[in-house]
Structure 1
Amino acid sequence: MERMHPMGRGRFSSTDWDIFSSATTTGRSTREIFTAATLQDNLNPARARNLTREARDSASNPHSTPLIVGLDVTGSMHRIPDYMVRDGLPVLFKTIYDRKPVPDPQIMFAGIGDVVYDRAPLQVSQFEADISIAQQLKGLYLEGGGGANASESYPLVWYFAGMHTSTDSFEKRRKKGYLFTIGDEMAPDSITADQIQKVMGIRPQQDFLTSELLDLASQAWNVFHITIEEGSNYRRMPNRVRANWTDLLGQRALFLSDYRKLSELIVSTIQILEGESAEMVAGSWAGETAQVIRESTRGLSSNDGRRKWSPHF
């Protein structure tokens, strides 16, 4: 398989963030930040069909830990990429650096839509360890689509992670990366071969149940989904959304009452999976953040009972 030039060199710094923020987000609306009017070539997964998104060790990141953050970019969820590009990204990097649940984070962002209705249902950045990930994040096309089918195509990220990523963390150290999808809708029951062809430009030999795509991604990734309770779809049908994700992911289905605590929840989840107790992690945050994280991670542990991967593929 042909490979992209390995990314993920350098380190995220406050100085670089301040320069980026001042030039890009300060005093600007969401529309003024996310200016892409269509899917950008560098984020187009069809251009990765014979390639791999790589997270590699380097002199500045000798024990790289890959992290995929998949953001729902449909109309009801525009606040999430906006939050991440203004506030969430520096919190995510700095808190991982400070708390050290894992070493040397390298982040890949994905934009998620609806493969049935949208022109750009999946967008994928490179893995990056420095400010260049912010530039790729702001390049996401906020299509604002979605449809009336009560789901978004979150499992497309699982397919991409399972088939089109390569990491030193797993290949050298047998250490899984972390994959989070974020949104307010349910997962679909399946993703068809035709739908994958629409996104990737090539057609796999089979349709996939969503549970099969979860198993595929789980070979090399700890997979989570975070439901944003402030989203309009969740507010309309909270019981259905909760049941859908809990049936699929068990305790790795997380529910967040305040989207402004998204980065803290991601870091807290990694801390817990790496062996810290949920209560101690929640108590380590100040003020109302502690209660938000406590509610979101209640019952989560490093031995969370997620079914083991079975070799269907």
Structure 2
Amino acid sequence: MSVSPRTPLLAAGAATVTVVLWASAFVSIRSAGAAYSPGALALGRLLSGALVLGVFLLVRREGLPPRSAWRGIAISGVLWFGFYMVALNWGEQQVDAGTAALVVNIGPILIALLGARLLGDPLPPRLLAGMAVSFAGAVTVGLSMSGEGGSSVLGVALCLLAAMAYAGGVVAQKPALGRASVLQVTTFGCLVGAVCCLPFSWQLVTEAAGAPLSATLNMVYLGVFPTALAFTTWAYALSRTTASRMGATTYAVPALVVLMSWLALGEVPGPLTMAGGALCLAGVAVSRSRPRSAAPTSEPVSRTEREATTSA
């Protein structure tokens, strides 16, 4: 199978779009979360995203994914699109920013461990070192931006469950991308997540009637951009690299959140926050780098990718 020289650049660009949009989601969630409960916000976001993705799927006439891809799509839809969004929305209402950063950002570490165990992803020293540096930076950012809010046992448990669901969803999605298109995997994963959140329908209808327009627009933004677009670019990049490397890439999100909060909300970051953001970016750079002797156009091949190549 020949690989275009542009593929690594396109994958890097897709990953960049993903982390920028996911970082912007934190700013929008702060606005929409004041008017919508966790379940209603997740459902409204997923319905908006599914509508946009469904239109593109119909225009491209891609149809249903093959049966062999449905297991991964269903698992990622339930865990990542559904459970993760509700648990994270709820958990961040219960704990301070420092605790949320500490707990939720174990997700990429869990992805690396699960990817190595279930997908045969390699764990090179540079990846592990970069993730350690980025995790330290994420915790530093969270602690430095914490107010005087407290942390509840429920909130910590919800953030931990969200991190576990995120990791499980990513690892389940990876094999599905070898059997179905990026758009199919993303669209039907989003639809599965929306179906899981249907019990919150009455809350969404009730709260939408009294919510300010800005909160509703932010909810729609979350569905169109950080969900429909960002999850699609994520899947594109994930299909061209390992789950471990993609998980490490998301450690750039805390640094971007600091910058966006500064620009959009006027929240001037302190020296500790700036240092934590720099650590996040430095860790991502280390985790994505390769030894000088490595071929520049090839990614480490996981067991899933090897099996797909053999059966092709």
Q: Same fold (TM over 0.5)?
A: no
Higher helix share: 2
Q: Which has the higher contact order (CA 8 A, sep 6+)?
A: 2
**What is the TM-score when the length of structure 1 is the normalising length?**
0.29
Which structure is larger by alpha-carbon Rg, 1 or 2?
Answer: 2
